[in-house]
Chains A and B, each alone.
Chain A
Amino acid sequence: MKNVKTLNKSTYAKKSVNAGCGECQVSCQSACKTSCTVANQKCEKKNKK
């Protein structure tokens, strides 16, 4: 597409709403002690791949 460049193709699949293995880090255990953010957290399952 000349006028649009998509940076990613991943989408939050609806089926994963009730999934989630719970093995990933909680955000305040990284470098976030006073202002929460989650999008920078790593997925434990994807890290194993």
Chain B
Amino acid sequence: MLHQFEQNGYNIALDSASGAVHVLSPLAASVLRQMASLPLPPSKQPPEGYSEEKAECWDDLYSLYEDGTLFSDDIDMENASYASGLIKSMCLHVSHDCNMRCRYCFAGTGDFHRGRQLMDLETGKKAIDFLLKESGPIKNLELDFFGGEPLLNFDVVKELVRYGREKEAPLGKNIRFTITTNGALLDDDSIAFINEHMYNAVLSVDGRREVNDLNRPFEDGSGSYDTIIPKFKRLVKDRNADWYVRGTYTRDNLDFAEDVLSLNDEGFDQISVEPVVLPEDNPMALREEDLPVIEAEYERLAKEMIERYREGRPFTFFHFMIDLDAGPCVYKRLKGCGCGAEYVAVTPGGDIYPCHQFVEYPEYKMGNVNEGKVDRAAQRKFMRCAITRNSECKLCWAKYFCGGGCPANNYGFNRDIEKPYKLGCDIERKRVECALMIKAAEAEIDEERENSLIAGI
């Protein structure tokens, strides 16, 4: 499947089935449009009446076809495998309590509408035992301390890390711990512990001070920005492992590029800012009619990122990160996030859900770690979530970039884990286009730099 688009002066062609990305001259882009409008496979011979220049473009494009990087056959989806059913990743809700009152919180101010509760140590240990057992031969496991706010239960977090390290060694496994925190309770000790033991740290902040303080106030209504930013800076300064500052944008800040750039201006260079997911009747929810503004904002952000790259101060934006040469294998691309199949969430009481977002849906409870087993029929439903089975995904040029989207969003909007959430799909397609355009621009800048160096010599 061919996807051809123009953005920021770059003509780009993505051969969806092979993943090849071509940057075209305006003439070659026009010739490719004609080639794509004619019956496939393309003819080696250019159409009659072509100028020499156009014929040259045709020849170049035809050679790409011969190389298997244009009009290539799609992957044999009917024979593609689904998720294995080995659970290797866990979102551990050590706290259904929170010291912030974020306006958009899908966790209902931290308690997931179930009452405030902290996980006890024994339940946490059983969750780790469950993960070690259910992961079978998989070596690398993941465990994200999540909430609510996990620092409200940090003694249990520390004990569980110690327990995990003790239990993983004899089994030859490697648990990669992550913590997702709002930062309010960070101090020197917790920062040192996180930086020593956590493979990844996700630091929640929404961007500009005024946006963050409106959306992420403390319980007393006061803003959190001036409390958390210095702490996040301290954590990041001493860190030698993965981390992101991560925020949410809503209908109230559709100029969210300013929030991303504000975080970068504060010195953070690994940033994720995601669209809010709320019921359509919530005034902060994104609407279909907002899409043109959202798309333009992603483009604006992409252009500014290119300028900062040119100026030698690049930063990464999570949803524009694409590794064209060393990204995930096709198997990974087919099955997306793996929620409910290889990834589960566990509540403070030990209940198992397909992911952190499904915890709000009691009908999706899949078991309890105290019983040490999972509802296999429910798991199989999620194992079948793959772009190979989804008629809408099959026809989408971006399917190998998104992996089929978010089943929780699908359920939230369509009451069907396999029916894509349309606005989410539209936003993801735009982000992929921006990411590819950035790749084209960076390649051009790199080439200019190389040429300057050569000229200098």
Contacts and interface: CB of A to CB of B under 8 A. Distances in A.
B197 interface: no
B200 A30 contact: yes
A22 B135 CA distance: 10
Interface stretch (B61-69, B95-103, B113-121, B161-169): B61-69
B404 A35 contact: no
A35 B144 contact: no
A interface bracket (residues with beta carbon within 8 Å of B): 35 or more
Interface of B: 17-25, 27-28, 56-57, 60-61, 63-64, 68-69, 72, 75-76, 79-81, 84, 86, 88-89, 91, 106, 138-140, 142, 144, 176, 178, 180, 200, 202, 242, 244, 246, 248, 270, 272, 274-277, 318-319, 321-334, 336-339, 342-343, 355-357, 400-406, 409, 424, 427-428, 431-432, 435-436, 439-440, 443
Given A28-B89, A28-B91, 5 more contacts: A1-B63, A12-B17, A14-B76, A23-B139, A37-B318
Interface of A: 1-14, 16-20, 22-46
Contacts of B25: 2-4
B326 A46 contact: yes
A9 B20 contact: yes
B442 to A, nearest CB: 9
A38 B403 contact: yes
A17 B76 contact: yes
B274 A42 contact: no
Nearest to B447: A5
Contact of B328 (A11, A33, A42): A42
Given A4-B60, A10-B325, A40-B319, A35 B409 contact: yes
Contacts of B86: 22
Contacts of B89: 25-26, 28-29
Nearest to B270: A31
B428 A35 contact: yes
A2 B60 CA distance: 9
Contacts of B318: 30-32, 37, 40
Contacts of B435: 39
B274 A32 contact: yes
